[in-house]
Amino acid sequence: MDDLVSFEVMPTSSGSAVWEARVREAANQISVAANKHAPSISEIVGKASGGRIENEVVTLRRKIEQLQAARFKADPAVETIQSLILGKPYSLEHYKSLKQKEDLLDCALEMGDGDAILAVTIMIKRTLKHQKFLSLICTRPIAAETLVNYMITRHELSQVNDLLNALGRFHDSGIVSFRQAISAKNLEGKIRNLKQLLHTQMSGHADAGIVLEQINLLERVSPILESETRYPDRQLSGLSSSVLQALTYFTQYYHGAPENLLHSPEALRKMHKLSEKQYLWVSVRGRATAEAWKDCENLLVGKGWLGGVKAKGGINMIEMATVLHDAKCPVETLSVILQAVESPADRLETAKKLKVASVVVDVLLAQKDRNGLTRYRDSLVLNSRDWFYAENALTTSNVKWKN
């Protein structure tokens, strides 16, 4: 400071000495003032007051930062559904208002995750009054269907039935009621429930005929089940499940029984108006299970022109031959069945596949295919019965070969 403020003082009198002292004092004061620091807010307004203001400033800055960050955050409903889908911790408890619940469910439906839709729907069902829940779920059929399927898997059939009726889905309600009716433990309870259902909820229903058929079947098999208990080795579980299962049982154990008996296959066929194809398919399976192969032949084929055979009832004989082959049917029976296949090419292909050598040889012989027959003979076990059959066809027939 002495460099900035300087005075030339000449030797003078005592008055000049006074002025020199004053000037030096002023220079010292200016130097002290220049070295002082600027006062802070707390020094100006007081330490207590300044600390409070500084805290408020910090708080405001944090709030501003939070607001800026919130601009880029997802909607809370989106975050909740994403957490639910990804298996992260989530909570649905803070969704209190109807609008919040609707937005949450709509978000789950938009993302299309079944578990999320179910979780939100169950929460809404639990927390809303019944009428409000129905009005909400009616406009969201995917959520309603998800809830119905969930309740069915939990066997909550009564609640499902009430929900379907409230939603106006009376046809589906009837089906659920039918399932509920046949869930009774004993046969008498099933019959009683079905009759009650037929005269109440299923009256005029499109599937009322099915319910009536089930009642007729249960009433028919009820006394049979009691009498069949003397055969512990027989499987009775499917006897009351469906008409076709009952027919399989009847044809396996009571084929040919007269129509005046409850276990008559023909009587069951007429009562339930089964088509000829249905009857033949099931009957053949039943007789195959009993290994009654001649009955299988009689059911499937009849006499044709010039001593040949023809298929009965428009049955696909290739499919039926495959079924019998899988049931370990003898080759002799398969040979008869395959003769009813009209197309020689199909007959040849199926006979090769099922290893029915006699049919293969007969087709090749009819086609006058010496080369094909020779190759097929060579593929057989030497000196086996099938090999001799093919060898005799090659050596003793009077066929005029085409090659």
User: Concatenated DSSP letters for 67-131?
Assistant: HHHHTTSPPHHHHHHHHHHHT-----TT--SHHHHHHHHHHHHHHT-HHHHHHHHHHHHHHS-HH
> How many angstroms separate the CA atoms of 357 and 124, rounded?
69
CA distances from 36 to 4, 5, 32, 42 (A): 17, 18, 7, 16
> How many angstroms separate the CA atoms of 150 and 118, rounded?
8
CA distances from 39 to 36, 56, 297 (A): 9, 20, 117
CA distances from 18 to 4, 14, 15, 31, 32 (A): 21, 7, 5, 20, 22
CB neighbours of residue 52 within 10 Å: 12
pLDDT at 179: 86
Collect all residues with Cβ–Cβ distance below 8 Å to 5 and sequence separation of at least 6: 26, 27, 30
Q: Nearest 5°: phi and psi at 339?
A: -65, -20
pLDDT at 7: 45
Cβ 324 vs Cβ 287: under 8 Å: no
User: Concatenated DSSP letters for 7-51?
Assistant: -------HHHHHHHHHHHHHHHHHHHHHTPPPP-HHHHH-HHHHH
Region label for 124, one of left (φ > 0), alpha (ψ between -120 and 50) or beta (otherwise): alpha
Radius of gyration of the chain, Cα coordinates, nearest whole angstrom: 48
Cβ 199 vs Cβ 232: under 8 Å: no
Tens digits of pLDDT across the chain (403 residues): 444 444 444 444 455 676 667 767 766 666 665 565 555 555 555 555 556 777 877 788 887 776 565 444 446 889 899 989 998 898 888 898 999 999 999 999 999 999 999 999 999 999 999 999 999 999 999 999 999 999 999 988 888 988 998 888 888 888 888 888 888 888 999 999 999 988 887 777 788 888 999 999 999 999 999 999 899 889 888 889 899 999 999 999 999 999 999 999 999 999 999 999 999 999 999 999 999 999 999 999 988 776 678 888 788 999 999 999 999 999 999 999 999 999 999 999 999 999 999 999 999 999 999 999 999 999 999 999 999 999 999 998 888 898 8
Q: What is the DSSP letter of 381?
A: P
pLDDT at 24: 72
AA identity, residue 96: K
Burial of 143 (0-12, 13-18, 19+ CB in 10 A): buried
> How many angstroms separate the CA atoms of 277 and 274, rounded?
8
Helical segments of 170-316, H only: 170-181, 187-199, 208-228, 243-253, 265-271, 276-289, 293-300
pLDDT at 251: 96
> How many angstroms separate the CA atoms of 40 and 314, rounded?
107
Collect all residues with Cβ–Cβ distance below 8 Å to 223 and sequence separation of at least 6: 262
Burial of 29 (0-12, 13-18, 19+ CB in 10 A): exposed
> How many angstroms separate the CA atoms of 61 and 319, rounded?
82
pLDDT in tens, 348-387: 999 999 999 999 999 999 999 999 999 999 999 999 999 9
Write b or e for each residue in 161-180: b if 16 or more Cβ atoms lie within 10 A of its Cβ, otherwise e. bebbbebebeebbbbbbbeb
CB neighbours of residue 140 within 10 Å: 19
> How many angstroms separate the CA atoms of 234 and 52, rounded?
92
AA identity, residue 324: L
Collect all residues with Cβ–Cβ distance below 8 Å to 262 and sequence separation of at least 6: 220, 221, 223, 224
Global pTM exceeds 0.75: no
pLDDT at 191: 94
